[in-house]
Amino acid sequence: MKYQLMTDAQIMEDLGKQFEQLRLFKNLTVDQVCEQGGTNKLTVNRFTHNKNAIRLDGLISILRGIGELDKLETLFEMPEKITFEKTDVIKKKRVRKPTQTSKVNEIKWGNDE
């Protein structure tokens, strides 16, 4: 992915440009994005022009405003769904290391063999 080679500032600038292109493609005004997303023009302008970083809730509002909130669902998507049911878990029985029994020194008296 091209973001691997970019700085944080470059990534934010690219995201702002992509947002602006998508907003124009959808024929939405900044006011409409703000109204539908529940955010303000300052947040949208900061995101679009990369003036300052915005908070995560601002990004969520912007995505909601342009109708792309569902894209967040794929952000941390796992390749497969992993289930941990009782049938899937194999319990290993604990095995203790055998202890070595030391020979007890027998006391021998006299002619004992």
Q: pLDDT tens for residues 4-31? A: 899 988 999 999 999 999 999 999 999 9
Task: Provide mean pLDDT across the span 57-77.
Answer: 92
Q: Which residue ranges form the domains of the chain, and what is each CATH number? A: 13-69 (1.10.260.40)
3-state DSSP call for residue 102? coil
Tens of pLDDT, residue by residue over 40-62, are 999 999 999 888 889 999 999 99
Residue 31 has a pLDDT of 96
**pTM (predicted TM-score):** 0.65
CA atoms lying within 13 Å on the CB side of residue 45 = 4
